[in-house]
């Protein structure tokens, strides 16, 4: 049994499905986080750094969540 030296954050179904595998094989504990919360927090973080295109300040983003479970159905 490996001693857990690292704890990472993960989102989505894989965070739940493979948490035991990460712990067993790599000794990594996964903290499960909500996907949309992380996506919005990351986008808000990026908005704190001004991005200019010429003289135009870009500060708009679009959040789009695609349900990956649809791929598993086919």
Predicted confidence band of residue 2 (pLDDT cuts 50, 70, 90): very low
User: Where exactly are the structural domains of the chain?
Assistant: 6-73
Residue 73, pLDDT above cutoff 70: no
pLDDT attached to residue 66: 60
Instruction: Render pLDDT for 18-61 as a digit per residue (tens, 0 to 9).
Output: 888 888 888 888 888 888 888 888 888 877 877 788 888 776 66
User: How many angstroms separate the Cα of 65 from the Cα of each of 30, 31, 62?
Assistant: 22, 21, 10
* The two structure tokens encoding residue 48: 């704190």
pLDDT attached to residue 1: 46
Residue with more model confidence, 62 or 57:
57
CA distance 22 to 28: 5
Grouping H, G, I as helix, E, B as strand and the rest as coil, residue 8 is: strand
Residue with more model confidence, 6 or 22:
22
């Amino acid at each position: 049994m490996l001693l857990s030296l690292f704890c990472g954050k993960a989102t989505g179904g894989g965070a739940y499905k493979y948490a035991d595998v990460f712990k067993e094989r790599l000794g990594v504990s996964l903290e499960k986080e909500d996907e949309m919360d992380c996506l919005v927090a990351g986008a808000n973080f990026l908005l704190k750094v001004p991005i200019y295109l010429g003289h135009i300040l870009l500060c708009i983003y679009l959040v789009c969540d695609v349900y990956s479970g649809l791929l598993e159905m086919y």
